[in-house]
Structure 1
Amino acid sequence: MSTRYDLILRNVMTIERGACDVALADGYIAAIEARIEAFGPERDCGGNLLLPGLIDHHIHLLATAAKLQSADLSGLVREEAIVRRLREAASKLSPEEPLRATGYDERALAIPGRAELDCWVADRPLRVQDRTGALWLLNSPAVAQLGNAPWPDCVETDDCGEPTGRIWRGDGWLRERLGGRPPSLAPLAAQLSRLGITGVTDTGAANGASEAGLFERSRESGQLPQKLQLMGTEDMPEGTGYRRGPLKLLYDERDLPPLDIVADRIRRARDQGRAVAAHCVTEGELSYFLAALDIAGGSRQGDRIEHGSMISAGAIGEIAKRGLTVVTHPSFVHDRGDRYLETIDDDARQDLYRLASLEAGGVNLAGGSDAPYGSFDPWLAMRSGATRRTASNRPLGSDEALPPDRILQMYLLPFDLSTGAPRTVSPDAAADLCLFDGTVRDLVHDARAERVLLTLIDGRPVFEQ
């Protein structure tokens, strides 16, 4: 009697085996053979490339979902263009409905306060997030919604103790003060599915028990079909709808805490059996993290450097020696490259978002988007990492290029980065899969989102052309 499967993918090409059939059952890959003699629903895949589903190893889900519902100021550096974009967005809202905007670039008007924002939009609360995600700018109606003093350290105040409208790293406090329903993750999840993304790591530094509950409900309701790993604080509990990830260490070079405080947090992570993931945008933040690790007793497999925006040649060996993984964003060369060319000195540009030199130095690499602060299209990341060209097609760090199929491997790593081995299409693996229109050669020469034909999570289609 023939075996019955939930789905048989006929005539696929895999990197590991070449041409074959792949059978799925109970959310897993049940069989891979040259020709599977069985019955059940079938799909002829036309000889196209079957890959494990991609994982975005660094994303901010709620902020990205909110950005999809916000006015996008990215790329605007003239004040009149920003005002026009904001007022166009406001005209589509009901009277007095709050307006949210993202992607503000300080080249437009330095860092404006509430008085300047009142000149832009005065008839409703306005909240503007800067391009880095570290700063919120509020107009007077938005400040009025915050209530009364005392103000936490994240709220900048003037000489009279009144808020200036600038709030640094205050996302959690803002959510508590303003309340409101979090954005639906369903539209974002649909876009991720179209890109072949079957798993995401939310890297929110403030994630704790309440955020974990919110994400669990999103998974249970079907808003977010993608597999989920959550970073966060020491208060992050184990969960059933997600995997608890590393303890997130977030600090800014302009206001670094004493090393012993961060070292103590690393020790607490070890007591919880967790790795740590450190926000390292500047060379100073990277050196600070390496020092904190040494004070805390050293690194462990799975410890991560998030961003690795600026890494000097001398630091590569130190990173490799500690076995750290750099979770980088290849698409930033495209998304932000023109800005880097304008604002970063020639001799420092060689340290920007290294790829090839890190790999040559024995450093583990994983891929993430940092969305909403960068594009969450991993295929753009593959092209950007291979060409090292900006949006205006100018070269930036060409020596750091890696081929698209190598960058693909950075998105095929499992959540547990300590393994170091990319996931494969193999028996007993989870049936989280992406069907790519073409061969490996096509992927190398034309890695584009439009080539994703089918995305499966637990063997169930979540996107199909």
Structure 2
Amino acid sequence: MLIRNVEIPGFAGGPPGLTNVRLGARIEAVGDLELQPGERVVEGDGGALLPGLHDHHIHMFSLAAARASVDCGPDRVLEQVVADLRAVDGEWVRGINYHESLAGDLTAADIDTWVPDRPVRIQHRSGIVWYLNSAALAEVGARAADLPGIERGADGAPNGRFFRMDHWLGHRVASKAQPDLSTVSAELARYGVT
């Protein structure tokens, strides 16, 4: 493969400015190179040619989950957020970036009016609070859990608000709502992150 017209930052002894790079299993040549018969060409268009970025501490599941979630941010219109929540494919519905300015301090009953037939969990933009509807409360076994992070109403039943309960919720939801990594993997690979 011949990569043409690229800059190689920090390449000691390399040609200044734009150059060409021939790749096989490794870099075979750098410089003013002629195209070989049948060789694949990638136009660098003056961009930087960098080594692959091997990130061994990337939050792939979080990134994939965020991409598959409904943005419930304060800059959105409530009716559109509700329509987007209802339109999600799959068993579980996940929202992120919620702020009280959209629809107040949510409870399970509030979310039930939007999506009554499937489990819904919406994360507050602070990351501290998760709001669950009644179907989600049943799925995670919230009624039987005696934990301080589960807020309860006057009747003693969970009201849908979970404070600092990511770990606990994650174990109960993970097997039911795993995000698909293929799309974000392909996107990161396009940027050279492997």
Q: What TM-score do you get using the length of structure 2 for normalisation?
A: 0.73
Letter of the 2:125 partner, please give it. R
Counting aligned pairs with the same residue, the percent is 33
Tell me the equivalent position of 2:160.
165
Q: Which residue is equivalent to 1:48? A: 46
User: Are the counterparts in 2 of residues 105 and 130 from structure 1 also a CA contact under 8 Å?
Assistant: yes
1:88 positional shift: 4.5
Equivalent residue, structure 2, for 1:119: 113
Q: 1:72 to 1:46 in 2, by over 3 A?
A: closer
1:154 to 129, 144, 149: 149
Contact 1:76 1:105 in 2 (8 A): no
- After TM superposition, list the pairs within 5 Å mapping 1:195-206 onto structure 2: 196=191, 198-199=192-193
Cα 1:42–1:72, aligned 2, differ >3 Å: closer, same or farther? same
Contiguous gaps of at least 5 residues in structure 1:
1-6, 200-225, 227-465
- Once residues 84 and 9 of structure 1 are traced to their aligned partners in structure 2, the CA distance between those partners, rounded to angstroms, is 45
Mapping 1:11-410, distance limit 5 Å: 11-16=5-10, 17-26=16-25, 28-32=26-30, 34-36=31-33, 41-43=39-41, 45=43, 48-52=46-50, 53=52, 60-76=59-75, 81-91=77-87, 93=89, 97-147=91-141, 148-158=143-153, 160-178=155-173, 179-194=175-190, 196=191, 198-199=192-193, 226=194
Distance 2:67 2:20 in 1: 38
In structure 2, the CA distance between the partners of 1:13 and 1:47, relative to structure 1 (3 Å rule), is: farther
Return the alpha-carbon distance in structure 2 between the equivalents of residues 58 and 131 of structure 1: 23
Q: Is the 8 A contact 2:149 2:163 kept in 1?
A: yes
Contact 1:154–1:168 under 8 Å retained in 2? yes
Give the Å deviation of 1:189. Answer: 2.1
| 1:14 match: secondary structure | coil
Higher helix share: 1
| AA aligned opposite 2:136 | A
Would you say how many aligned residue pairs link Structure 1 and Structure 2? 185
Instruction: Kindly state the Cα deviation for residue 186 of structure 1 after the two structures are TM-superposed.
Output: 0.8
Q: Deviations over 1:367-415 (max 9, x none)?
A: xxxxxxxxxxxxxxxxxxxxxxxxxxxxxxxxxxxxxxxxxxxxxxxxx
CA RMSD of aligned residues (A): 3.3
When Rg is computed on C-alpha atoms for both structures, the one with the higher figure is 2
Segments of 5+ residues of structure 2 without an aligned counterpart are 11-15
Counterparts of 1:122 and 1:24, CA distance in 2: 56
